[in-house]
């Protein structure tokens, strides 16, 4: 009621002001609208008419811009609703994908693409659905269409590389990685390109990719070892096969420059052995074993020292092996050392090492497995025989021959006089 009274009072005020202006301006005024049209009336009326016309024009302009703002707001609201709908659809599709419901996920992504065929995210995720459902070919076909629409998109290129890898097409995967690196430097792409090129035997390309890795991550651990390995593979292609001396010479020069490539030292050992350089071959094997932590290389080195009539070197190598490895390999190295003791008739040292084997396994956090236990039992039997405990030795070997589940028992302390007759030089029993 009060608002109506206020509006009525406002209307009376406007009318009163209008009449007041008309009364004050009674003189006639002529306004020419066109060359042939004019209007003559009271000045007050003219003023009021012009004022109303200004209000009308302002209202029209305001209505025009207001309508445009209304339409713009409607479009923004429509886009917001579309984005929210897309977001909810994406959540449902990703949930289905995470739950392993490939068919449901595929249907949801297809639904999103029908609403927006240019949606790149939907195409990428749909390709994941196809791949998870066991149809990587269809996933790749769909991704090729996405790549045609967005050839510079890194995610599309990475997905294409991954799909080509799952299909076993490493060459095409490398091509996609090369496109990524052409767009911008990406460490992951450089690493993948290096690895795949090495697997394909394209060593020159692998070295080039490795250079990009070093530029992108110069302080990364392992760069030197990887470069040495790649250079060694490149060298292998150039080594003369029919000239052992030249082959060995080139390998010696390479290992001097690249001291971290275990495979190079192993190859050098083979070349030295072919030339009859037993000592050099054994030294190369020991270096390869230290770098690779491979127990079999330690064992090959020991065999070479023994074959070359240098038991002291063999024993030193066996002891060095026990210091370079850990865990189960440490136990295997200890058994190798025990075998070396026995081959050199060092039965007391072998007995001591066999006695310490259970405590060593405990300190290494490992267990003496069935195979290792049988081997230790065999060595125990040999050690007891060498110590003159023939009865215990026979029982141990008999149990082993019958393939019984034997529990390893360290040999008893003390040696018979029979073992003293064949005792090795004292220098071999000192570390």
23: which 2 tokens? 């009364």
Confidence (pLDDT) at 265: 92
Task: Give the separation between CA 392 and CA 377, rounded to whole angstroms.
Answer: 11
Task: Indicate the SS3 state at residue 29.
Answer: strand
Domain with CATH 1.25.40.10 in the chain: 90-226, 242-321
Confidence (pLDDT) at 418: 42
Confidence (pLDDT) at 204: 93
Give the number of residues written for the chain: 431
Nearest to 310 by CA among 344, 285, 338: 344
Confidence (pLDDT) at 411: 61
| Phi, psi angle pair for 28, to nearest 5° | -80, 140
Task: Indicate the SS3 state at residue 42.
Answer: strand
Q: Using one digit for the tens of pLDDT, what is the confidence trace for 190-231? A: 999 999 999 999 999 999 999 999 999 988 888 888 999 999
DSSP letters spanning 219-247: T-TTHHHHHHHHHHHHHHHHS-SS-HHHH
Confidence (pLDDT) at 224: 87
176: which 2 tokens? 């996609």
Confidence (pLDDT) at 419: 41
Nearest to 189 by CA among 143, 148, 154, 226: 154
Nearest to 411 by CA among 361, 362, 366, 348: 348
Q: Using one digit for the tens of pLDDT, what is the confidence trace for 36-46? A: 777 777 777 77
**Helix, strand, coil: what percent of the chain each, to 5?**
75, 5, 20
The residue ranges of the chain whose pLDDT is under 70 are 18-26, 33, 403-431
Q: Where are any strands of DSSP class E within 14-169?
A: 28-34, 37-42
28: which 2 tokens? 């006639």
Name the superfamily (CATH) of residues 90-226. Tetratricopeptide repeat domain (1.25.40.10)
Sign of CA dihedral 215, 218, 222, 226: positive
Task: Give the separation between CA 184 and CA 172, rounded to whole angstroms.
Answer: 19
50: which 2 tokens? 């012009």
Confidence (pLDDT) at 403: 62
**What burial class does residue 364 get, using C-beta atoms within 10 Å of its C-beta: 0-12 exposed, 13-18 middle, 19+ buried?**
middle
| Phi, psi angle pair for 135, to nearest 5° | -130, 65
2: which 2 tokens? 């009060």
User: Under CATH, which number does the domain 242-321 receive?
Assistant: 1.25.40.10
Pairing relation of β-strands 28-34 and 37-42?
Answer: antiparallel
């Amino acid at each position: 009621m009060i608002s109506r009274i206020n509006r009525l009072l406002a209307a009376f005020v406007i009318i009163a002001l209008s009449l007041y202006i008309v009364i004050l301006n009674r003189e006639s005024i002529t306004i020419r609208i066109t060359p042939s049209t004019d209007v003559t009336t009271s000045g007050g009326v003219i003023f009021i008419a012009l004022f109303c016309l200004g209000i009308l024009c302002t209202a029209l302009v305001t209505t025009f811009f207001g309508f445009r703002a209304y339409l713009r707001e409607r479009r923004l609201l429509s886009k917001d609703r579309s984005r929210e709908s897309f977001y909810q659809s994406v959540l449902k599709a990703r949930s289905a994908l995470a739950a392993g419901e490939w068919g449901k996920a595929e249907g949801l992504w297809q639904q999103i693409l029908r609403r927006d065929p240019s949606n790149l995210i939907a195409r990428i995720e749909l390709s994941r659905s196809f791949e998870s459902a066991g149809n990587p070919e269809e996933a790749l076909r769909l991704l090729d269409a996405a790549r045609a629409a967005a050839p510079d998109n890194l995610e599309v290129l990475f997905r294409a590389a991954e799909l080509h890898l799952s299909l076993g097409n490493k060459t095409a995967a490398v091509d996609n990685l090369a496109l990524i690196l052409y767009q911008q430097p990406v460490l992951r792409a450089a690493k993948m390109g290096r690895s795949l090129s090495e697997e394909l035997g394209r060593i020159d390309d692998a070295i080039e990719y490795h250079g990009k890795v070093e530029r992108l991550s110069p302080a990364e651990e392992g760069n030197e070892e990887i470069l040495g390995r790649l250079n060694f593979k490149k060298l292998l292609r150039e080594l003369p096969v029919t000239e052992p001396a030249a082959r060995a010479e080139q390998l010696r020069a390479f290992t001097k420059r690249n001291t971290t490539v275990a495979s190079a030292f192993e190859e050098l050992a083979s070349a030295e052995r072919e030339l009859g350089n037993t000592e050099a071959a054994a030294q190369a094997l020991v270096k390869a074993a230290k770098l690779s932590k491979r127990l079999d290389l330690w064992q090959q080195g020991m065999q070479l020292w023994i074959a070359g009539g240098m038991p002291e070197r063999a024993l030193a190598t066996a002891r060095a092996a026990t210091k370079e490895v850990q865990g189960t390999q440490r136990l295997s190295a200890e058994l190798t050392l025990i075998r070396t003791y026995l081959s050199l008739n060092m039965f007391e040292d072998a007995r001591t090492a066999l006695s310490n084997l259970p405590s060593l396994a405990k300190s290494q956090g490992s267990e003496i497995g069935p195979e290792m236990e049988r081997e230790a039992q065999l060595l125990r039997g040999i050690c007891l025989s060498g110590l003159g405990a023939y009865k215990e030795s026979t029982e141990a070997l008999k149990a082993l021959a019958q393939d019984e589940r034997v529990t390893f028992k360290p040999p008893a302390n003390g040696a018979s006089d029979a073992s003293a007759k064949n005792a090795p030089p004292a220098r071999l029993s000192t570390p």
